[in-house]
Amino acid sequence: MTTLQHTPLTQLDPIYARLHATFKSGKTLPMDNRRRQLLQLGRLVQEIILSEFEPTTLADLGKPLFACCTTELSSLYSNILVELKNLEEWTAPQVVQVEEWRSDWETKR
């Protein structure tokens, strides 16, 4: 089991700046990147269940692993699978109803 390590406050601003710059660069927009991020999150949930979560559930939460998996973690994993299945549909541009005078602008959200 790994020991929890806190991020020093002095590192938060540089981390935030790096993440914000990545977001602003548009790197997170492509579908492949979004799918990869969701798959990595799903893998992380599985790894947590198998390595970190199992030994601590009874000690910390007073629950057996099965109870935690069926309540807390299975809903998270299920949501990831639903998001992967619907990712293209949910991220497709949508035509927005606008006033007649703006209809030729091809407004989308």
Per-residue pLDDT of 61-88, as tens digits, reads 777 777 777 777 778 888 999 999 999 9
> Strand, helix or coil at 29?
coil
Task: Report, as ranges of residue numbers, the positions in the chain whose pLDDT lies below 70.
Answer: 1-2, 50, 54, 109
Q: What is the pLDDT of residue 73?
A: 75
**In whole angstroms, what is the distance from residue 76 CA to residue 38 CA?**
11
Please check whether residue 57 is in contact with residue 63, taking contact to mean a CB–CB distance below 8 angstroms: yes
The amino acid present at 35, given as its one-letter code, is R
